[in-house]
Every structure is written in structure tokens, then in C-alpha cells.
Amino acid sequence: MVGSAAVLDIGDDVGALLVRLEDVPPSGELHAEPSGRPSERFHTGVHRRSDDGQSVALALFPSVVAGRYDILDENMQPAATVDVSGGCVQEVDLGAARGPEL
């Protein structure tokens, strides 16, 4: 990423999740939840950033407890499932997602 900086709170059992989308959703937000636990849903903003001279829509969840998460579409249905590990940044490209597991 050029010209952008993010502060991540990761380590031990906490990681981060960076999601690339085709476009910014109408709500301007992306939701995620621990798999099978919709009552623990959380969200973050989706913003356009410059990446190698191209404008891309990105959502950053800067502090996520290690585990399996569903990334939700605009209808609050799972668009992808991702495993987050402590101390790591997991990257997901929803534009490239073709199956339920990433």
C-alpha cells in the first residue's frame, strides 16, 4: 500500500484481517462473525486506497481473536470463511473467492 498506514493490535492469540472487495458496498461497511456465532457479529469500514497506482476497496479488521470467521455479504450471508491466526495478517480477496473456504 502506498501512502497508507494502519496500526494493528496483533500478537499472541490476536491477528488482523484485510479484505479486498470489488467495490465499496452501499453501507460502506463489511461485517464478519465467528463461524456459527452470529450474535458476536462485528464490522469495519470499507475505504478506497491506492495500491500500485490502482484504486482498490479494502476493509481492515485490525484486531481479531484467532479463530474461524465468516465474512458476510450485503444480505448478511457468508461470502467466505477464513481462519485468522494470532500475530498474523490474513488477507482475503472477495473478488477472487469462488468457494466457501479461503
**Confidence check: pLDDT of 100 > 50:** no
- Alpha-carbon 70 to chain mean position: 9
Domains held by the chain: number: 1
Segments forming the whole domain that contains residue 33 = 14-86
C-alpha span between 20 and 48 (Å, rounded): 10
Question: Greater confidence, 52 or 79?
Answer: 79
pTM higher than the cut 0.95: no
* 32-71 pLDDT tens trace: 999 999 999 999 999 998 878 888 999 999 999 999 999 9
Q: Tell me if 99 is assigned to some domain.
A: no
Residue 48 in any domain: the answer is yes
Compute the chain's Rg from CA coordinates. Answer: 13
Structural contact between residues 16 and 89, judged by C-beta atoms closer than 8 angstroms: yes
Nearest to 86 by CA among 12, 33, 25, 6: 12
Residue in 60, 64, 58, 56 with CA at minimum distance from that of residue 88: 64
18 lies in some domain: yes
Is residue 1 predicted with pLDDT exceeding 60? Answer: no
- Note whether residue 54 is domain-resident: yes
6 found inside a domain: no
Inter-residue contact 53 to 40 (CB < 8 Å): no
In a domain, 1, yes or no: no
pLDDT at 4: 61
Classify residue 24: in a domain, yes or no: yes
Mean pLDDT of 15-22: 95
Let me know if residue 96 belongs to a domain: no
Which has more pLDDT, 15 or 99? 15
